[in-house]
Structure 1
Amino acid sequence: MTEPLIRRHVQDGIATLTLASPGTLNALSSPMLTALEDSFAALAQDDSIRVVILAAEGKAFSAGHDLKEMQSFRAALDAGRAQFQALFDRCAAVMQAIAALPQPVIAQVQGVATAAGCQLACSCDLITASETTRFGVNGINLGLFCSTPAVALSRRLAPGAAFELLTTGDFLPAPRAHVLGLVNRLAPPDRLAEETLALAASIAAKDPAAIRLGKRAFRAQLGQPLPEAYATAGATMVENALLPATDAGIQTFLNRR
């Protein structure tokens, strides 16, 4: 039997999805993207899951798209353009599925995250990284500007910092990525999983309905003009304030005073 490309483990309301193709540096091939799509679709329907961790096996979190697969498209003559478009459309759908998931998603990046692999990490809500991790959008070194990874990267970094990486092909070491706000938490390599789990447990302990409402509103307002952003946030605050669990939480706090 073929080994699964993604392994899933659930404990205490935290689902860990592990990219399990270290031999390909966890490349985002069409089969890997399909496996991610299916995994996220299942999680979206599972109210028992409060937080998702996206991890990987081996020395790379993900090296990005499968270059051998991409080269095969070039040999397909007229069909090649359609195959490239289908690949990038599917990849975009996977990245947007992360944003659409009701649960917060934490990327646990233990090795290099390059090109679409960097895009995958940056599409998550939070990033924890090993102190030895490096991030890159290095396609320009091969003559391919990482235009689609730029979408996720430019939403986590200042535009100038993102554009520098995109145009130089340089790697961004995790400590510098932490200073720039790309990475939320750093850890020694042997403590990365522990640090990620602690962050996930802290979020999982909060009211899940409030977290889900909050993620939806946070993602929505990011791309809106200021008046629309406040309208979105205000409507969410009303919905949140009317939840029974919120009422109980506020009353408990008042009773302590």
Structure 2
Amino acid sequence: MGNNDDQPLVLRSDGDHVATLTLNRPAARNALSEAMLTALAERLAEIDGDDEVHVVILAGAGPAFSAGHDLREIRADDDPAFHERLFARCSDVMMQVGHLRQPVIARVSGVATAAGCQLVASCDLAVAGATARFATPGVNIGLFCSTPMVALTRTVGPKHAMEMLLTGELIDATDAHRIGLVNRVVPDQALDSATAALAATIAAKSPLTVAMGKAAYRNQRDLPVAEAYAHTSGVMVDNLQADDAAEGIAAFLDRRPPTWTGR
């Protein structure tokens, strides 16, 4: 099943320094086919080089955020070489989200399961509607969610991750918030506005500072403490040389709003 009316598999809309990417296979619950993953990778690459974009929102069209890999596609081609290519492409896209200069916010309505849950976990932030549901249900069909496990175990605690992986059961948005999979849960009707407000708050900061901070967070996270401090101290020194740091400090001391240049 494809997207409606032969529209692009990933839609993009921009406004106020925020780019919204929408997975657009609603009839297939936004399953992450090889073509969908390729289209998402292309849109992310475009945004990475776009200085006008300060924040990215990632959403799904229709009743689901994403139901994960396209099982019909996987069953139709039983060549291990295809499977290897598919999972490598998916892993590359997940890492691309993490390495993107701009913060990425998942706006989650409906279900986010398997690789769809992996995509939520790979984003920097996530806002969920109250009726959103999450799962890594591969164990139920004899295909353990091994690649989704990578992002999940780097986002939630080990016992929470193992429970999701071993039971395959759906958890609701409240539980997803409790275990740290999402940042905020809001009424479904407020999902768009709440996500937009969070994006706007971040987009108002210095884009250079935010990009440096996101990269520093990713780089220090898995380092031993002493190495993490050494790395982030170097980032602070570099950050202080930026025009935006000088402007921000001056604005704070002068009690005025800063004017960012992104340099």
**Does the alignment reach a TM-score above 0.5?**
yes
Structure 1 residue ranges without an equivalent (≥5): 75-79
Q: Give the TM-score, by structure 1 length.
A: 0.95
Q: Distance in 2 between matches of 1:37 and 1:174?
A: 27
The equivalent of 1:25 in structure 2 is 29
Are 2:191 and 1:192 equivalent residues in the alignment?
Answer: yes
The equivalent of 2:179 in structure 1 is 180
Match of 1:73 among 57, 77, 93: 77
Superposition map of 1:76-95 within 5 A = 80-95=79-94
Superposition map of 1:146-161 within 5 A = 146-161=145-160
Instruction: Give the Å deviation of 1:146.
Output: 0.2
Instruction: Give the Å deviation of 1:248.
Output: 1.9
Look up the SS of the partner of 1:62 in the other structure: coil
Query: Percentage identity across aligned positions?
Result: 50
Deviations 1:104-148 (A, max 9, x none): 000000110000000011100000000110110000000111000
Structure 2 residue ranges without an equivalent (≥5): 256-263
Look up the SS of the partner of 2:164 in the other structure: helix
Which amino acid in structure 2 is aligned with residue 194 of structure 1?
S
The equivalent of 1:77 in structure 2 is none
Q: Distance in 1 between matches of 2:134 and 2:43?
A: 24
Look up the SS of the partner of 2:62 in the other structure: coil
Which amino acid in structure 2 is aligned with residue 241 of structure 1?
L
Q: Distance in 1 between matches of 2:105 and 2:222?
A: 21
Instruction: Give the Å deviation of 1:253.
Output: 2.0
Are 2:172 and 1:168 equivalent residues in the alignment?
Answer: no
The equivalent of 2:6 in structure 1 is 2
Instruction: Give the Å deviation of 1:208.
Output: 0.7
Once superposed, which parts of structure 1, at least 4 consecutive aligned residues long, lie more than 3 Å away? none
Match of 2:64 among 60, 63, 66: 60
The equivalent of 2:227 in structure 1 is 228
Q: Distance in 1 between matches of 2:216 and 2:47?
A: 19
Superposition map of 1:117-132 within 5 A = 117-132=116-131
Q: Distance in 2 between matches of 1:122 and 1:180?
A: 12
Q: Distance in 1 between matches of 2:6 and 2:67?
A: 22
The number of equivalent residue pairs is 252
Q: Give the TM-score, by structure 2 length.
A: 0.93
Look up the SS of the partner of 2:128 in the other structure: strand
Which amino acid in structure 2 is aligned with residue 169 of structure 1?
G
Instruction: Give the Å deviation of 1:196.
Output: 0.1
Which amino acid in structure 2 is aligned with residue 37 of structure 1?
A
